Structure 1
Amino acid sequence: MADSVQHISSSNDFSSLLSSTMYVIADFYADWCGPCRAIAPAYAQLAKTHSIPNYLAFAKVNVDTVQAVAQEYKVTAMPTFLFFKDGKQVAVNGAAMIQGADVRNLTNAAEKMGRLAKEKATLGTGSR
């Protein structure tokens, strides 16, 4: 199976993903960041488990190579996980973002978004 995580290489890539996918979880990371490397396998597994084309995507945004996107969302710590619905940043489980390698909170957020995306996909609702 192909990589379930979409690697963002430009602002246009990110905009395109947000406009084509109902829900997006974005991992803002840096190659030099130890906690980012530590949580990467868990993030990849969540993506493999919960991704649904056009309904839920998992993205990785390297803050050093795609600085414009990191600046747009005011990312100041790595890793930072942001959540989007219909192209707009949203809170999940009361949190607008998760900063740090918090596997438990990330898993809870991914499972919740996964359930919502699955419901939408099953019903065939939304413009996707």
Structure 2
Amino acid sequence: MTVHIIETVDGFKETIAKNSIVVIDAFATWCGPCKAIAPTIAKWSESDEFKDKIYFAKFDVDHLPDLSQELGIRAMPTFIVFKDGEKVDEFVGANPPALQKLITKYVQ
């Protein structure tokens, strides 16, 4: 498992449809906190705690402004949790302990 890059709105829809639990990272290339937390997210995607249980994906808000608007992204990074195609949670900011606690709720 790794952090998958979402390139299109259709790619986003396919991602949340095909995977039971998805954590989406809405980031911007110019965002310092986004860059700071990215290695942590990558590490989690490979960890025994989350791999094979949670699908990690990310998209650049500047490349997909329509998706950013549809999801209501107002700040970066924003993490959105989808379960069975439905948005179930959201977290704004680069706070690894708080984000990990939120994600852990969805590990089956």
Match of 2:98 among 96, 105, 112: 105
Q: Is the 8 A contact 1:29 1:79 kept in 2?
A: yes
SS in 1 for 2:81: strand
Q: Normalising by structure 1, what TM-score? A: 0.78
Q: Is the 8 A contact 1:25 1:84 kept in 2?
A: yes
Identity %: 35
Point out where structure 1 has 5 or more consecutive residues left out of the alignment.
92-96, 117-128
The RMSD of aligned alpha carbons is 1.2
Aligned residue pairs, count: 106
Structure having the higher helix fraction is 1
SS in 2 for 1:90: strand
CA apart distance, 1:99? 0.7
Larger C-alpha radius of gyration, 1 or 2? 1
SS in 2 for 1:113: coil
Deviations 1:81-127 (A, max 9, x none): 01000111003xxxxx111101111111222323x2xxxxxxxxxxx
Q: Is the 8 A contact 1:23 1:113 kept in 2?
A: yes
* Segment drifting more, 59-68 vs 24-33: 59-68
Deviations 1:2-50 (A, max 9, x none): x611100000110001110000000000000000000001111111111
Give the Cα–Cα distance (whole angstroms) in 2 for the partners of residues 106 and 25 of structure 1.
10
Give the Cα–Cα distance (whole angstroms) in 1 for the partners of residues 54 and 32 of structure 2.
27
Deviations 1:52-89 (A, max 9, x none): 1xx52001111001111111110010000010001110
Q: Find the counterpart in structure 2 of residue 77 from structure 1.
A: 75
1:58 matched to 2:56? The reply is yes
SS in 2 for 1:84: strand
SS in 2 for 1:32: coil
Point out where structure 2 has 5 or more consecutive residues left out of the alignment.
none
Q: Find the counterpart in structure 2 of residue 68 from structure 1.
A: 66
